[in-house]
Structure 1
């Protein structure tokens, strides 16, 4: 993480998650991955990112363990970028982000919706506490210092 980040942020899961996926282009690359795209030229065509910028973003995702780079052709050598388990675990985050935006729009104004592939029924995703079934947006759910929290994090949530 960059040195300009507060000490408290270095242990904050929100801040550290942003180090993995906090750039606009990274989210778009991941969106393409979840739609089945794996190749550099596909990403470039869909996103419109320069070769050098796309190369840098893909390298960061590989270095962070979100994507795996695999050769799919020998001559000339060509690579594809495949989601790792860590990368696949980001899908609910992207689904939640899309749902958040769609909730601000009238149903007729939604360009992309989440549907059940078997029934075609539109799905409204929710993040719930599995024990109570309550939506985690309920005010009763708050952040608290965890067992690994440092002094500043403990002070923040005291």
Structure 2
């Protein structure tokens, strides 16, 4: 499997990685969830080269994760906003942040906490079953071929 061919794999993770699997892309997404919208703010916060940032923002716009919205007509300037598709990445980003907090935060603890507005408590990510609401861990899951699987592709790989 070649990196440039990920978007053609019959694997949802590989196809997703083709869109967000670059380290700068993930950091751009982090900034968008911290409500950064303008090019200069991204560049200042990330210390990223203008060319690289331009490429990553264009990539995310081309894939419908961000949309470019004009905020000034004279001169013409744009900001980048998360689309519904982009907002769907929140569980991925927050889970990575909380994983980083657990294993790399250092002695003082996480640099940023996340407070749930509704209840007022700081929270950590928990994966739950959409059907019963119970917490789910890797040992609680049995993968099986879905409707998009190629015939025979998973034979012998997936077991109870």
- TM-score interval, normalised by the smaller of the two chains: 0.7 to 0.9
Offset at residue 152 of structure 1 (A): 5.7
Provide the residue aligned with 1:14 in structure 2. Answer: 13
Offset at residue 31 of structure 1 (A): 1.0
Q: Relative contact order, CA 8 A, sep 6+: which one is greater?
A: 1
Contiguous gaps of at least 5 residues in structure 2: none
> Structure 1 residues 46 and 146 mapped into 2: Cα distance closer, same or farther (>3 Å)?
same
Alignment map for 1:2-151 (pairs within 5 Å): 2-3=4-5, 5=6, 10-104=9-103, 105=105, 108-117=108-117, 120-151=120-151
> Structure 1 residues 48 and 6 mapped into 2: Cα distance closer, same or farther (>3 Å)?
closer
| Cα distance between partner residues in 1 of 2:66 and 2:121 | 30
| Cα distance between partner residues in 2 of 1:45 and 1:147 | 45
| Cα distance between partner residues in 2 of 1:19 and 1:73 | 32
Cα RMSD between the aligned structures?
2.3
Structure 1 stretch displaced more, 13-22 or 97-106:
97-106
Offset at residue 136 of structure 1 (A): 2.4
